[in-house]
Structures are given as C-alpha cells and as structure tokens.
Amino acid sequence: MLHTVFYAIVFLLALVVSNVLNKIFPKLPLPLIQVAIGLILGFFGANHVVTVDPEIFLAFIIAPLLFREAEEAEVKRIFKHTRMILVLIFPLVFITALGVGYLTNALYSPIPLAAAIALGGTLAPTDAVVVSSLSERYNFPRRITSILKGEGMLNDASGIISFQIALTALTTGYFSIVHASVNLIYSAVGGVVIGLVLVWLDGLILTILEDVAANDTVGYLLLELALPLAAFLLADVLHMSGIIAVVVAGVMQANGLKKTSLFDAQVAKVKNTVWETLTFLLNSVVFIFLGIELYQLITPILAHNAYSNLSLLVLVLAITASLFVVRFLILTLYYSVVAKRRKRLFMNYWNDIMLLSFAGSKGTIGIAAILLLPRSATETQPLLVFLCAAVTGLSFLVGLFIVPLFTTRKVEEVNNLQKIAILTDVIAELTQDQAKATHKTGYTIAIDAYQERIQRLIVEQETASVSTDFNDLQLLIMRMEVQGLETALRDGEISMYTYRTYQRYLHSLETTVVHHLVSSLQFAFAVTWRAIHLLISNLLHIEFSLGRRAKYKPTDKTRTEITELYFKNTELVMAALENLEGVYDAQLIDFLQAERLRTAAFVADGGHITRMMNKAHPNNLTEMMRAYYLERKIIFEYEERGDLTAHEAQEMRQNVNVMEDYSLVGERPSLLIDFLSYGRKDRERAV
C-alpha cells in the first residue's frame, strides 16, 4: 500500500516537473517532456506499479478528454469540412487498417493476417496533439485545425470498430462483409442515440432541480463529469460505439440554449476551471503512461532472443512510413478531384496535403485498444503491443519535426500602448482620490500594483533585443544581490531575520524578469541558485525558528542592516553597470542606474519594510475595488472611442474580473507578517 502511495506522489510530482520544464523551455512540447518522464519512471520501476486496465483507461481517461474536446469544438466550422472529414474517418481508416495489416504480415509472417489488420485498426485513428503542441509557436490555417479536430473526435470510433472486426475474425476464424457492415451501422447509430438520450436526460434532471430550487453548482458539475462515463459505459454494455456516444454527448451538451442567470454564470466559471485542470491532468496521464508503456514493452522485446533488433527497427519504420504514405495518397487523390472540380491548380493544395498528412499523428487510444487483444488470441500479442506503442511514439516525433516545415512561425507583435495608457489613467484617478483621502496607505499600495503592471507592459513593448538586454541585466543584478546577501550573512553582518526579509526583496526581483526573452538556462540557474542558498541558510540557522524566534523582536537594527546591505550592493551594481556601458545600450544602463538610486533613497527612508508588509498582507480592499471600477470605466471609454477593439476590451475586462475575484477572497494568513506585526505591537507597548 505504501509502495503504491509513494508512486502516486511521484507521479503527481512528475506532472508538476513536466509543466515547469515546459514553462522554462517553451520550445520543448509538453507531451514530449511527459513521454520522456514516463520513460524515466519506467526505468525506476514504475511499470511494476502502474498497470491500468485498457477498458478503464478508455472509459475514465479517453472518454472525458473526447467529451471536453467535443464541447469546445467549433461544430459550424467542422460541418463546413464534412466531406473531407468523412473521407478521413471512414475509407482512410479502413484502407489504413488493411494496408498496415498486409504489410506487417508480409514483413513478419508469424503475425497472423487478422492480428496484423487488428494492429492496423488501432494505428489508423489520429490525434491533433501535434498541432496542439505546436500551435503556440506556429500558425496553422483554421481549416486544417478544424479538419484535424473533427477527424480526431470521430475516427477513434471507426478505428476501434475495424479492430473489433479483425479481432472477431482472429478469434473465430469467420469473417462476413455483410455482418461487419451491419455491426458498423448498429455501433455508429446506437452511439449517436445513446449520446442524444443521455444529454436529454441530463437536461431533464437539471430542469427538475431548477423547478424545485434545488440546483447547485457542485451538483451540475458532478452530472457533467458523469455524462461521458455514463455514455461510454452504457454504449460498451450494449456493444455500441462508446466513442461516438461520448462525442455526440459533448457536442449536444455545449450547443444547447445559453441562459443568462446568475447560476449559469457561476456554473460556467467554475466549470471551465475544473475542466482545464482535469484536461491537463488526464492528458498528462496519457503521455506519462505512454512513456511507461514504451519502457515496459521495449525492454523485454529488445532483450528477447526470438526477435532481431534490426528486424524490429525495420518493421517499426516500415509501418510508420506506410501510415504516412497511405494518408498522403488518399489526401492527394481527394484534393486532385477537388482541384479539378473547382478548376484550380493542384499545387494550391500542396501545403494542406502535407500538413494533414504529417499532423495526423497516431493517438494513444490505439495503445489502449491493442491491450484489449487477449494473449490467448495470438502468441505474438506482446510484439503487437510493442509495435503499436513504438509506431505511436515515432509518428508523434515525425510530426513534430516535419509539420513546422510547412507552416510559418508566429511573430508576436506586442502593442501594449493602449493598455499602458489605460493603466496610467487609472493611476492618475487614484492619485486624485489619494489627495482627498484621510488614510493614504491603501491608495499607495494600489498605485504600486498598477505601476508594476505598467513596468511589465513596457518591457514587453520594447523590441526583442532591448527586452533581452533588460532581462539579462536584471539577472546580473539579481546574482550580485544574492552574492552580497550570502556574504553578509556568512560574515555576521546581518541577522537571520534580516536575511529572510531581504530574500523577499530578491523574490520581487525575479518577478520582473520576463524569462522567455532570455536564456531559460540562465533564469533557471539564477532562481535555483537563490533557492538553494535560502534552503541551506535556513537549515544552518534552524535554531532561529525553534528557539530564538520567540525572543527576537525586530528593531531599528534590522532597518539599519537592510539599508547598509542595500547600499553596499548598490555600489557593486552601479560599478558593474558602468563597466557595461560599451556592451549594452547607454539609455538602458542610465535607466537601470537611475532606478537603482531611486530605490536606494526609498530604502534609506525605511519604506521598503513597510511596503513589503503592506504588499504581503494588504488591507486596502476598498481602494482596490475603486481601482478596478476605474479600470473598467476607462476600458469602456477607450472601446467607445475606437481605441480598443472589442476583443482587446473583453480580454482586459476578464483580467480585471480575475484580479477582483482574488481580492474579494479575503485575508490570507501570513506567518511572516503576523510575526512582524507582533514585534511591532510589542515595541509600541514598551514605549
């Protein structure tokens, strides 16, 4: 039991690590990182613990993902490409299953033809994961995205149906085209009916709950989360297509009448947050599980004396190539007919053909399906599973490298001028309110928050070279600050309390670095180095927390230590910046030097500690609500004048809503601030 719990914790940490690595190294696709982590976990023995039943995998992981994908699908645009999608989900899937089957049987005769066709059926379905992974950095035509998403939602069903037909032929030795066609129609139509009926029942239940005033957000979410599971399992019990049932349920659930009540608004907000988290979690499970499965399958197969490693490599490469070739030929034939009918040059469709050919990588649903193949059906079952997993992984890698050749990289044109102007107007309004207010501290904190937002927008607004230089210099200053802080603590010039207080300042420096504009390795190294120093210092001075903390009270000595340390570091920073005047832009150097001197004056006045406490434990809800109101008002005025587009205004309002909701959550406990406040009260009583 403890062994399983340990691996569950490791698995959750792996999800966190994969997401962090993707943020630090955005050029590496998240699925690729997670597959690599899965391989590492498999090497350390996770394959002995992680054993998932294929049917459970389909019902509890694949079904919810397809349901959410169907909910978010632009059905109107998918219908626009119905002919193309129908070609991809029916003739292409069955032709692929037969082609891969005959090729596999010809290259390795011990695999029965029916088993080889079953392998082809599991490899025929595609997934839009390649496009999803690359869409943040590359431009894809909307028609390509719509086709791939529509195909990905529906071809899983046709692939599993072809797999089931081949499996029946393998286990019974009997095959009838009439019987197979009837089963296909029954499975597809039955899946559609189940999806429609369950959505109708879901709506009926919600209507009844609404009529008796018993509807609540949690109940609605539970019903929605149960819907894909119920659709898949019911269809599976009735031997119908669970995939089609789930997709139909998702499409119908998202395309009902939209209400404008407060309850529906609350549900929509919570629902999107829950689904985003759940989708990330399930997708991560899929790819980490794929990595573990690859390790579990590759190791014994490669070590087995019955299989030649070279023969296996040739077989994997041949099957992968055949998948892309068959897809390319079908698409070429289709677009040649389209070009002739529309009287256009065939080469006009070449880019679409290549994108659709290589962006349609194999989905992990194929691995789940091939695991349904019983060992008793064929002695080559382990080899078939290995081939399915290896080809799935290889097709994904091929797509990642080939697809960018036929699309263009996104060029982010940042234009924050209107946003900066709006936030500047908000500060002007807040400054006027502050002049009339009796208590001005709350407005000071609010203005600081808006000034920080403006600074980040200015950095993003600058050219890439200027922004990169700015962030490089910020990293240099941060490293010098860390070195000066550690030296002061080691030489006994500051107390542990001062050390920890100064660490808060260094953390605020990190937030000003837009790390995707600099070397990710530099940023990761700087942050990790500071975190390691902080951890070591805390361990070496643990008695501060256990014994001396109760006796220690912050005094003016703390303020003096921070001031002296900051001035000493400032001298080093100013000297370093002067030495870099010939390397970096002179105006940028002057700006950083002036900002450093301004902050030094602020620290000398003792304002740093006070402002840090106010930011960490703000008590200015009224002033922040006033700021958010002003921001919305000014956004509306800019939109009315035409200075903002409707989309830009909507995005800015959503950001305001998020920050306002966060402010309204209430006070959050802070041990550090409570301790500082406790010490301040003691001093006041002593006076």
The pLDDT tens digits for 88-121 are 988 898 899 999 999 999 999 889 999 999 999 8
Residue 480 CA to residue 474 CA, distance in Å, equals 10
DSSP symbol at 545: I
How far from 139 is each of 136, 143, 355, 484, CA to CA, in Å? 8, 12, 12, 46
Residue 508 CA to residue 510 CA, distance in Å, equals 5
**Residue 381, class by beta-carbon neighbours within 10 Å (0-12 exposed, 13-18 middle, 19+ buried)?**
middle
Mean pLDDT computed over 205-225: 82
Whether the CB-CB separation of 131 and 403 falls below 8 Å is answered with yes
Predicted local confidence at residue 285, as pLDDT = 83
The pLDDT tens digits for 124-181 are 888 776 677 777 778 888 899 889 888 888 787 788 888 888 888 887 777 677 777 7
Residue 352 predicted with pLDDT over 90:
yes
CA angle 638, 454, 664 (to 5 degrees): 80
- The domain segmentation of the chain, as residue ranges, is 2-175+278-409, 462-618+671-686
Residue 484 CA to residue 493 CA, distance in Å, equals 11
* DSSP annotation string for 373-385: S-TTT-TTHHHHH
**Identity of residue 468:** T
Confidence bin at 332 (pLDDT 50/70/90): very high
Predicted local confidence at residue 618, as pLDDT = 58
Residue 320 predicted with pLDDT over 50:
yes
Confidence bin at 308 (pLDDT 50/70/90): confident
Residue 532 predicted with pLDDT over 60:
yes
Higher-confidence residue of 220 and 552: namely 220
Mean pLDDT computed over 492-520: 65
Predicted local confidence at residue 676, as pLDDT = 47
The pLDDT tens digits for 4-36 are 677 778 888 888 888 878 776 766 778 788 888
Predicted local confidence at residue 666, as pLDDT = 53
Among all chains, which residue has been given the structure tokens 């670095």? 513
Mean pLDDT computed over 286-305: 76
Residue 517 predicted with pLDDT over 50:
no
Counting Cα atoms < 13 Å in the Cβ hemisphere of 480 gives 19
Closest CA to 392 of 515, 508, 293: 293
CATH of domain 2-175+278-409: 1.20.1530.20
Residue 321 predicted with pLDDT over 90:
yes
Higher-confidence residue of 104 and 217: namely 104
Residue 683 predicted with pLDDT over 70:
no
Predicted local confidence at residue 466, as pLDDT = 66
The pLDDT tens digits for 409-462 are 876 666 788 898 999 999 999 999 988 988 787 887 788 788 778 877 776 666
Predicted local confidence at residue 230, as pLDDT = 94
The pLDDT tens digits for 387-408 are 888 898 888 888 888 988 998 8
Residue 520 predicted with pLDDT over 50:
no
Residue 281 CA to residue 275 CA, distance in Å, equals 10
The percent of residues in the chain predicted with pLDDT above 90, rounded, is: 19
Residue 311 CA to residue 604 CA, distance in Å, equals 74
Mapped onto helix, strand or coil, the DSSP state of residue 569 is helix
Whether the CB-CB separation of 281 and 12 falls below 8 Å is answered with no
Mean pLDDT computed over 506-528: 53
Mean pLDDT computed over 254-273: 74
The pLDDT tens digits for 196-207 are 999 999 888 888
The pLDDT tens digits for 356-394 are 999 877 666 777 778 777 776 677 888 888 888 889 888
Whether the CB-CB separation of 612 and 566 falls below 8 Å is answered with no
Predicted local confidence at residue 233, as pLDDT = 93
Predicted local confidence at residue 319, as pLDDT = 95
Residue 276 predicted with pLDDT over 80:
yes
Q: What pTM was computed for the model?
A: 0.71
Predicted local confidence at residue 661, as pLDDT = 82
Closest CA to 8 of 281, 296, 334, 333: 281
Predicted local confidence at residue 562, as pLDDT = 78
Predicted local confidence at residue 548, as pLDDT = 44
The percent of residues in the chain predicted with pLDDT above 70, rounded, is: 79
Predicted local confidence at residue 457, as pLDDT = 79
Predicted local confidence at residue 266, as pLDDT = 74
Mean pLDDT, all residues of the chain: 79
